[in-house]
Structure 1
């Protein structure tokens, strides 16, 4: 029974070595094998030594450069389509050169045909022209950028934080005064004064005097302020913080 190995297992060293070191070796051997046929075609086209040795280097370098440019440029970048076409043509030329050279060397095709000589002679100038075209086209996307507004209409950046200016606040006015608690006052008149705080303000002397008179009680102004109201606010200190009655009338 075979035991399945985990899919994430690391490849053995000889497989890794063959992948990393084997690729440049295979590339060098393949270029060396292509060189004789391309050199032979250059000689047939009329080039003499040492210029005929430039044909293998031209076809091999041209195919490699065009292939790298086509693979490295993003979609939409200028020159990417041209690089793909150039890489395809370079590979086809290198392939045709090998086939043609072998056919000529084995006698299956005549090497002095005009169209063949003309095609071989056009390879160096065509290669130079296309490589210069690839060198002058930027490797950025050709998509148009968004239009920028005029300089005088661009927003001005804020360099300093804005601080809010707050007006001085008045003491909070209670919306609902607390209900009359069960407080035992020393004087029953204190309960009458306590009810005046239910309006949300601290009653004045005249208001307290009127309320006491309406209930049938009398007291001097000093006793109203210093004894009766003082006892109410002593037992409930929060009442002393209420805004004065005069302030509310002025507002």
Structure 2
């Protein structure tokens, strides 16, 4: 009983935070996210206006930078280490943070009179932000995400094998020697018939009979197209190609027709 009492987790031993801490974390994160987005929007809007965008297009700059930072951060956090596109997403997340910081700093410097906003380099860099963000987001979208299959293996219990001594059977007298058997003469091999088709397109249709059914026109047309023979008329498929195959192997014509709604 004493061991069980000591091993029971206490509600205040740090294993689970108190309710007010959990509430502050749950409610505080979206509140802080909303507040920071609202506070960042005027500076990013101001930089867009300095670069020459007019209303309402200048309002797209805050949304572009915020969405870009969020998408790049999520991709960088969810892709496993060494996966393709993870390093690019990490660079994008860092680049988005630098853009957001630079937009705030430049906007406040210009607004307080410490910096002239009508500068060519500032306008050029700001103008490149939307196409650069779009190009990198398309790159992340085109990069395949690795799919991990959860392991379904179950640890089997270890069974210890106990070996018990086995009584030895009494020795039997040696058997009399038998005359060596002569090797049997090998059966005479039957020659394998090799079929040479007059129409080389028959080679693309013959494997369809391996399913135990007589292939239809649609299946034969698809097989010819996949083999690079192009479009072939239905009458040629049935009257020439299939007829030559079944002429060489008459038993194939007796197979039941293939189902799946294909024309015989």
* TM-score with structure 2 setting the length: 0.52
* 1:8/1:52 CA distance change after superposition, 3 Å: same
Match of residue 132 from structure 2: 126
State the Cα distance separating 1:11 from its structure 2 match: 1.9
Match of residue 27 from structure 2: 21
Partner deviation per Cα, 1:137-187 (whole Å, 9 max, x = no partner):
11239xxxxxxxxxxxxxxxxxxxxxxxxxxxxxxx9637xxxxxxxxxxx
Match 1:46 to one of 49, 52, 59: 52
Match 2:142 to one of 136, 140, 162: 136
Match of residue 69 from structure 2: 63
State the Cα distance separating 1:114 from its structure 2 match: 0.4
Partner deviation per Cα, 1:61-93 (whole Å, 9 max, x = no partner):
101111111111111111111111111011000
Distance 2:123 2:68 in 1: 20
Distance 2:144 2:48 in 1: 33
Instruction: Kindly indicate which of the two structures has a greater share of residues assigned to helix.
Output: 1
After superposition, residues 163-174 of structure 1 pair within 5 angstroms as none
State the Cα distance separating 1:9 from its structure 2 match: 4.5
Match of residue 105 from structure 1: 111
* 1:93/1:6 CA distance change after superposition, 3 Å: same
* 1:248/1:119 CA distance change after superposition, 3 Å: closer
Distance 2:176 2:23 in 1: 94
Distance 1:60 1:83 in 2: 15
After superposition, residues 151-230 of structure 1 pair within 5 angstroms as 175=171
Structure with greater Cα Rg: 1
| Stretches of structure 1 lacking an aligned partner (at least 5 in a row) | 142-172, 177-199, 201-246
Distance 2:138 2:178 in 1: 89
Partner deviation per Cα, 1:118-152 (whole Å, 9 max, x = no partner):
111110000000000000011239xxxxxxxxxxx
* 1:249/1:56 CA distance change after superposition, 3 Å: closer
Match of residue 87 from structure 2: 81
May I ask how many residue pairs the two structures share in their alignment? Answer: 149
* TM-score with structure 1 setting the length: 0.55
* 1:249/1:48 CA distance change after superposition, 3 Å: closer
| Stretches of structure 2 lacking an aligned partner (at least 5 in a row) | 1-9, 148-168, 180-264
